[in-house]
Amino acid sequence: MQQDIRNQLDRAIRRFLEGHQLKYKVDDDGDYHLVVGFSQVPIRARMLLLKQGAQGEILSVVVRYEGPYVFSEEEALRKANKWNMERRWPRIYWRDGHFYGDFHLDCEVGISQRLVELTLHRVLMGSLQFLLSLGGHQVLGDSGASLFHEEHSESLGSFLQGLLDRGLKTHSLPN
């Protein structure tokens, strides 16, 4: 039973990443590492997808949003708290000069490819919405064009546009 859930979750994650042509690495523990860039903001998201729990039945996604940011730590904490009061996913926190987001899905009672896809879409869209909520004037960096050409980076502009084209909507976020 333990390997069954872990293997099913592993296959579903791989299908999602490969289906969307996202580059990733798998470490010795079987955790997935990827870096994504959003064409709309000059911030990249370093993502870690873990299979946790006694049976590997919990999909945990931890995202580090790599600035640089121009606001104080106190203001960053206020922004994280405001996001968490107004929205549920991903949960945002500030540590060591970076925002982090996390999301967890318990698959103990069952798993499907569609469930994993919807979960990872939610994490990606929520991440983009959070970054957009910071406002362009509050981050330093490029204009957003041609960002993140590292070996294991992937621009999500066309991927997210595809999600929007299929009916997923983003909402204007207050400043």
Give domain limits for the chain. 2-165
Q: What is the pTM of this model?
A: 0.76
Find out whether 155 and 23 touch, Cβ atoms under 8 Å.
no
Query: CB count, 10 Å around CB of 67?
Result: 18
Which tens digits make up the pLDDT trace of 47-94?
Answer: 999 999 998 999 999 999 998 888 899 999 999 999 999 998 899 999
Find out whether 55 and 6 touch, Cβ atoms under 8 Å.
yes
Query: CB count, 10 Å around CB of 167?
Result: 6
* Nearest Cα residue to 94 out of 107, 106, 105, 81: 81
Which tens digits make up the pLDDT trace of 99-109?
Answer: 999 999 999 98
- Give domain 2-165's CATH architecture: 2-Layer Sandwich (3.30)
The C-alpha atoms of residue 172 and residue 175 are separated, in whole angstroms, by: 9
